[in-house]
A = this chain, B = another copy of it.
Amino acid sequence: MRPERLEIAVIGGGLAGSLLAITLAQRGFRPIVFERRARYDATEPERGRSINLALAARGIAALDRCGIYAEIEPLVISMRGRMIHEHDSTLKLLRYGQRDSEQIFSISRTALNRKLYEIATRRHGVEYQFDSPCIGIDAGSEQPIIETHGRVRTLDADIVFAVDGAGSAIRGALEEFGALAVSDERLGHGYKELAIAPAPSGGYAIDPHALHIWPRGNYMLIALPNTDGSFTATLFLPLDGRTSFASIGADDVSAFFCEQFPDAVGLLGSLEEEYADNPTGLLGTIRCSTWTFDNRYLLLGDAAHAIVPFHGQGMNAAFEDVATLDELLDAHGDDFQPAFEAFERSRRADVLAIADMALENYAEMRQRVRDPDFAFRQQVAFELERRFPDRFIPRYSMVMFHPEISYAEARRRGFEQDRTLSKLCANASRVMDVDFELAERLVGAA
């Protein structure tokens, strides 16, 4: 049944590429993964590159589909909510969900990538070729060109998956060919990673089971826990303007942090050096006119639809891409062409929705979480979910904890929820004052 001799190239051996390779191997294919970087076990993580990520239910569901989540689980640290650090150093925990089980999971990009690589290679015999960036597509054969240590070769693949990330070389080459159009919308804000060391006693310096946020209106600092007791902090700041990466030099950064993040400054042991040495990362949204080409290419993950990181859904969406493709290969009997077409048709609305929700969440994290009204609306939303669990699930919870609800559906219901919550909160300042009879009418039938 299975066309085992199909040559499948997976361009990019990062998180999505490795999960895709596992999925394809489990289907009986023998993909070859081409990875730009040197062999993972021989290298240190890249400096200043987002090194911890938030795994949530969509990503877990995709890992579960391959039967490998049990091996990933030991790598994660659960986070039950956002720990808000006010300007006066008071702390406030805003839980992610109303149930204790509704948590998200901090995980090291490097550790997860190595684990997926290990599963792909040791269990499934997937071949990885390292030091092998794709440098373009051959105009005649329309095949990827790979360069390894100066040696250039053109592949001869029946199927090519582009999972080579936000800066995808395949996407760039297809764009140059006129095979697709790409929108790369920069946010105008950048980020810089900074390290919080473990406490001198060896434990965590701050609560490990939370995503820490120092919301400051137009910018913010966040921190996610690592398994070794450290945290990775990330400063998000406009690129230009009054308070920005352009205006704050390494000489100014200590004063800026003492002023704005007084309770964090003591945790950031090498603030000035890291601020000077770590690159300023750019943020943006990639949108493509199509993700397929020539019945042969499919773009997946960041290569197809990079989003800003503020909903913690970039990796989760990429993993969900892989799971969706796997379902469609089931439905189409491993026939790639109709599966690719169906993927594009079914996934476009979801990707449009999560890209927007990720952008919207930046304002929520850096600004709205400070507002007492925000916490009150969230309490009311949780109460509605408790009372009407089949009829009301807060949008954030749908995105993070309900993979059975698509991103597009979550966004659509979110608009309704906003209207409902605005009506219910207009005349109440405590949850007990909310008109739950009106609420029941507003949330409608199950």
Contacts and interface: CB of A to CB of B under 8 A. Distances in A.
Contact of A181 (B175, B176, B289, B408): B408
Interface stretch (A140-148, A190-198, A253-261, A346-354): A346-354
A7 interface: no
Contacts of A178: 408-409, 412
Contacts of A180: 349
In the assembly, how many copies of this chain are there? 2
Interface string A175-186: 110101111010
A364 to B, nearest CB: 16
A410 B120 CA distance: 42
Contacts of A350: 181
A411 interface: yes
A337 interface: no
A168 B1 CA distance: 48
Contact of A287 (B176, B287, B408): B287
A183 B355 contact: yes
Contacts of A175: 412
Contact of A176 (B182, B288, B290, B412): B412
A156 interface: no
Nearest to A172: B415
- Contact residue range for chain A? 20 to 34
B349 A181 contact: yes
Contacts of A409: 178
A305 to B, nearest CB: 12
Nearest to A408: B181
Contacts of A411: 181
B290 A181 contact: no
Contacts of A356: 183, 185
Contacts of A288: 352
Contacts of A185: 356, 359
Contacts of A287: 287, 352
Nearest to A407: B181
A290 B183 contact: no
Interface in A145-201: 175-176, 178, 180-183, 185
A228 B13 CA distance: 64
Interface in A281-299: 287-290
B181 A353 contact: yes
A350 B182 CA distance: 10
Interface string A401-432: 00000001101100000000000000000000
A377 B140 CA distance: 33
Contacts of A412: 175-176, 178, 181
Interface in A354-412: 355-356, 359, 408-409, 411-412
6 contacts: A178-B412, A181-B350, A181-B353, A181-B412, A287-B352, A289-B353
Given A288-B352, A290-B348, 7 more contacts: A175-B412, A181-B350, A181-B353, A182-B352, A183-B353, A185-B356, A185-B359
9 smallest beta-carbon distances between A and B, as pairs: A289-B349, A181-B349, A181-B408, A289-B348, A181-B352, A181-B353, A183-B356, A289-B352, A183-B352
